[in-house]
Structure 1
Amino acid sequence: MTRSARDDAPTDDEFGRMLEACKRTDHPLESRFLLQTLGPPGGMRVAEVLHMKEGWIDWNEGIIKIPGHEPCDCSYCQERARKKK
C-alpha cells in the first residue's frame, strides 16, 4: 500500500501536544506561530515539523526546501522506520 503525506500528518492530539510544548520554549509565541504556519493545514508531516532546521529555509526565494532524507536516531524516526519494515 502506498503511503501519502496525509498518513503522516499529525493527529489532532499530536498537534495539540506540540502546541502545548510551544509554551515551554524560550520563544513560545514564535514557536506557536511557526507550528501553526508549518503544521496542518499546511501539510508538513510530523517529522518535518519536529526536525526542521533553519538551513531548510531559502530566505531569498521565500520557500522551505525539505530534504528527501536526513539520518536521524530520534525515537519518532526509529519507530517510523521499524513500522515500515
Structure 2
Amino acid sequence: MRIIEEISFPGCKVSILAMNQKFILKFEKGNLEQTYKVAEIDLIFGLDDVKKLLNEEFLTQVMNRFKQMDNDFDEQLAQL
C-alpha cells in the first residue's frame, strides 16, 4: 500500500492510497477512521476522479458519520 496524497480538511485528515488496483480513501478524526475503496477500473481519469469524490456534500456526510461513530463509541464506553 502506498500513499499517493494526504489532504487536510477542517476536522479530519484524508489520505489517498493505492493498493491492488484500488484507490483507498482514508478519513481520520481522532481515534476514529473511515475507509472507502474504489477499483481503478471503475474510474476513467484515475486519481482525478478520486479527488472529485471529495466534494462538500460527501465530506459533510463523512463528518456527520464521525459524529455518530463518536456518540456510539461514547455510549459503549459509558456501559463499562
Q: TM-score, normalised by structure 2?
A: 0.29
Which of the pair has the greater relative contact order for Cα pairs under 8 Å at 6+ separation? 1
> What's the TM-score once normalised by structure 1's chain length?
0.28
